[in-house]
Amino acid sequence: MTYRLSGTVDGVPVTVEFTEEDVSDLTLRATEVHVPYPPGAPPVVFNIRWGQPHFEGALRKGLYGDVVLGDPDFDREYLVDAAPADEIAVWLLLRC
């Protein structure tokens, strides 16, 4: 099941998709954010996943990246997978 929300943030078009998928006895949840960055460019897609500690093995294997924002509570609980990581971190921090 996917829910989609579209709008603008500071004049920049943003689409957020929340997806739930049942796999075996687990429910996987992911939030995807689509935003043109830099402005006017094609959208960059980044994923925000709750439960960052559950992804440690995948992080070690390089299957996911993790954008660190510098908020210890947020960084400990959420995995933000996007590239280029340094530019996404700046974009997110400017809007928080």
39-90 tens-digit pLDDT: 777 777 777 766 655 666 666 666 667 777 788 887 877 777 776 667 667 6
The pLDDT value given to residue 59: 67
The tokens describing 65, both together, are 């990246």
Domain boundaries, the chain: 2-95
Angle among Cα 17, 22, 25 to the nearest 5 degrees reads 145
DSSP secondary structure string for all residues of the chain: -EEEEEEEETTEEEEEEEEEEEETTEEEEEEEEEEESSTTSPEEEEEEEE-GGGGHHHHHTTSS-----S-HHHHHHEEEE-SSHHHHHHHHHHH-
Task: With cut-offs at 50, 70 and 90, classify the pLDDT of residue 4.
Answer: very high
Question: What one-letter code names the amino acid at 44?
Answer: V
Query: pTM for the complete prediction?
Result: 0.56
